[in-house]
Amino acid sequence: MSIESPTDLATLVKDDEVHQSVYTDPAIFAHELERLFGRSWIFVAHDSEIPRPGDFKTDQLSRWRLLLVRQQDGSIGLFHNVCRHRGALLCHESYGNTQAFKCMYHGWTFANDGALRGVPMREHMRGLDLPAHGLVPIPRVQSYQGFIFASLAPEGESLEEYLGGAKRYLDLMVARAPDQAIAAVKPVQYHYRGNWKLQVENYSDNYHPAVLHHSVLSIGVQMLKEKFGDQPLNARSGGRYVERVLGHGHSMADYQGGRGALWMNAYDDEYLRTLAKRAGTERAQELRDADIHLIIYPNLLIHVRMNHYRVIKPVSVDHTIVNTYPCKLVGASKSVNDALIYNTSHHVSAAGEVQVDDLQAFNWVQEGLGSGAIEWIPFKLYGEEEHVDVQGENVSYGTSEAAIRGQYREWARWMTAPATNAAHASDHSASYR
């Protein structure tokens, strides 16, 4: 299928099917960078990664190189991590604290607010305008509950508008901490040979665990059976498990505290007592038991119970990096936080029990789709039951593919939206204008 215009891109997505080329075609990946990642809000860091003035973080999202710096006044400076002289990558450390960044090539030096301060042999550079040669800023940076997002588009809806119904689950992340803050620790990183959307879809796919993760689930199967019966995530009659499609591609899956048997119970009595002092006993129990997967489209996945977040970093159409940041609950005991970090490591690391299964599946899906054998991929599970509730959200009381359908509605919205506020024109998007 050849793609010449936004109208063509729209034909790749139906209500409950997508064309395989959205996973395999490098030209469509290039369109995604410009039209989706280049315009929507993308997650870049949590406050706790750069808490003090001068703290910085560098990161990469496909071709973009990012440099975040905590400013003296507490705000975030976000720049392209590219020297303004001849374009060398400027900072090569992942994290640190500094007043200035010096380029390794010719020694141009930039203050940590992005201003160009030092130029060797400047007196011999006729007409060099220092203020015009500071680091190139990313147009918009906003945060919510400590989660910092950026947009490469100078204009567009605010972050709060964009997050919409997802905000209440970010509120929940903070409310679960005795001191109402979370603190990220060093991330666990994995790569896979597959398209970035495979991981995003997988995070709301509760159709697969009983099959793909059978080996690990079988270890705790008796405990799960006692809690759920034979169909733990299909308890439609009991209404125990809920999926909500929150708009803008965001979604949540609420396991209603039912998965305690799957990992170490991190939450001790002291944690509950501390929370109860602030929130009351009933609310403290709700906060302790919260067990939700949250997807903030397009690149942030949050595990409320394990208290971690994952950042999806597309590299190319068939290569993705995911950084998973275990988080401490500020004010909770060391034993609670140690258990949370252990659980996340156990879940996603190379020696872990669960994520390795998913990564193998992603590799095989990418390989299978790359063969061109199938054209359309169905996401039809419980499509006929989708309905909008009083909150204006699509709700499913049981395993469905509703969240994935919601992701593709958002994908199609960005991919076909007029290019009025595109971040950077490219050869691929230029033909649309």
Q: Which residues bind ligand FES (CB under 6 A)?
A: 83, 85-86, 88, 103, 105-108
State the minimum distance, in angstroms, from the CB of residue 209 to Fe ion. 6
Per CB under 5 A, which region of 44-52, 56-64, 352-360, 411-419 contacts Fe ion?
A: 352-360
CA distance 296 to 368: 28
CA distance 308 to 306: 6
Q: Which is nearer to ligand FES, 52 or 124 (CB)?
A: 124
Q: Is 358 one of the binding residues for Fe ion (CB under 5 A)? A: yes
State the minimum distance, in angstroms, from the CB of residue 423 to ligand FES. 23
CA distance 19 to 13: 6
Closest residue to Fe ion in the complex (CB): 358
Q: Which is nearer to ligand FES, 106 or 273 (CB)?
A: 106
Per CB under 5 A, which region of 54-62, 244-252, 350-358, 391-399 contacts Fe ion?
A: 350-358
Taking CB within 5 to 8 Å according to partner kind, which of Fe ion, ligand FES, none is near residue 106? ligand FES
Contact at 8 Å (CB) between 327 and 309?
A: yes
Q: Which is nearer to Fe ion, 44 or 253 (CB)?
A: 253
Taking CB within 5 to 8 Å according to partner kind, which of Fe ion, ligand FES, none is near residue 358? Fe ion
Q: Which is nearer to ligand FES, 90 or 300 (CB)?
A: 90
Comparing CA positions, the residue from 293, 314, 294, 301 lying closest to residue 192 is 314
Comparing CA positions, the residue from 35, 99, 100, 34 lying closest to residue 64 is 34
State the minimum distance, in angstroms, from the CB of residue 86 to ligand FES. 4
Q: Which is nearer to ligand FES, 86 or 208 (CB)?
A: 86
Residues between 128 and 157 that touch Fe ion (CB under 5 A): none
State the minimum distance, in angstroms, from the CB of residue 78 to ligand FES. 19
Tell me if residue 116 falls in helix, strand or coil. strand
**Tokens standing for 275?**
């929370």
| 3-state SS record for 284-334 | HHHHHHCCEEEEECCCEEEECCCCEEEEEEEEECCEEEEEEEEEEECCCCH
Angle at 384 between CA 382 and CA 389, to 5 degrees: 90
Which residues contribute to the site for Fe ion (CB under 5 A)?
A: 358
